[in-house]
Amino acid sequence: MTDLTKRQFLGAVGSTAVIAALPKSVFAAPLSYDLAPVQVADGIWMIEGRTEYFSAENGGAIVNCALIETEAGIVLVDTGPSRKYGEALLDVARGLNGRGVAGVMITHHHPDHFFGNQVFSDKPIHALPETRALAESQGDGFADNMYRLLGDWMRGTEPAPPNTDVSSSVISIGGRSFETLPLSGHTGADLAILDQKTGLLIAGDLAFLNRAPTTPHADLPTWRAALDVLTEKNASAILPGHGPLDTSGASLAQTRDYLDWLEATLKQAALDGLDMVEIMDEPLPDRFAGMGAMPQEFHRSIAHLYPQIERDSMPLGQ
């Protein structure tokens, strides 16, 4: 068993033979998510994630999910980082509505947003077609990384890409209608969802609040254009992908401010000839220093974005 990866080992733990061979310590202190739904609009609840990076301590419960009541049952938006998290979400949904879960919508293909999908594979799991393609092509790589970061929390989790393409501007489920906004910029495909009954906007990771935005698949100009679209919606409230409910539009303004600062800082660093470590040593502005997952997220963004910005800053011929 020593040559199994952590993912292969924990993924196989469901089999009786493997369980029989395990040391007792594996079963000590079973892990469980404590998901507390908070009502944020008429018939809409959020599960608020911690504004941290993935850790074995938080189990990857760093993401916001929404539960929306319809006549057919609960519609979930995003399913969390693991199978175990999806099971906890299902328990919450059953507690809110005796009909359980009617369907799922996935905002984008990052693993903290869709790795609970397995639990809902018999339901329609709506997402943009490009999100489905990205989940199919990158899911395995994400899974290896999540097992490494979260360990036992991931037991039995396998990536289950969305199964239903979003191809119309409105989705109706159980008598409730949602405007779908097919955007991108945080990733190659980001779905924002406007609940037509309440005007609540579920922004996915196009909006962060008091938690540093993540950029591993970001295109900054496209992301800014998406923020323009979301701002024009004049939503009654915004559920960001990470951070508290936003009732003032602060998440859109803060995300834009951060992306602008990030890009300007890295461009200036390229002009000054700094290397990555030298940029990491620079102090963060006060307005960003207190964000969750700082300075680690800034450091990751340097690694994601700086090589290209550095290349772009070089005069032709160099």
Q: Could you list the residues that contact Zn ion (CB under 5 A)?
A: 110, 205
Q: How many Å apart are CA 77 and CA 209, to the nearest integer?
A: 18
Comparing CB distances to Zn ion, the nearer of 176 and 186 is 186
Q: Give the span between the Cα atoms of 318 and 303, in whole angstroms.
A: 22
Output the smallest distance, CB 285 to Zn ion, in A. Answer: 23
Angle at 195 (CA atoms; ends 192, 201), nearest 5 degrees = 45
Shortest Cβ 214–Zn ion spacing (Å): 6
Among candidate residues 197, 199, 209, 171, the one with its CA nearest the CA of residue 48: 209
CB of 241 to Zn ion, least distance (A): 6
Nearer to Zn ion, 110 or 126 (CB): 110
Nearer to Zn ion, 176 or 217 (CB): 217
Q: Which residue has the tokens 């974005």?
A: 305
* Tally of CB atoms within 10 A around 255: 28
For the beta sheet containing 176-183, the strands, ordered from the edge strand earlier in sequence to the opposite edge, are 170-173, 176-183, 190-195, 200-208, 237-242
What is the nearest approach in angstroms of Zn ion to the Cβ of residue 43?
26
Q: Which is nearer to Zn ion, 142 or 147 (CB)?
A: 142
- Give the sign of the dihedral formed by CA 84, CA 90, CA 94, CA 98: negative
Closer to Zn ion by CB, 11 or 240: give it.
240
End-to-end CA distance of the chain: 51
User: Which residues are CB-contacts of 89 (< 8 A; sequence separation ≥ 6)?
Assistant: 35, 47, 65, 67, 76, 79, 80, 116, 119
Cβ proximity to Zn ion, 76 vs 102, nearer residue: 76
Q: How far is the CB of 183 from Zn ion (least distance, A)?
A: 13
Min dist CB 19 to Zn ion, Å, is 34
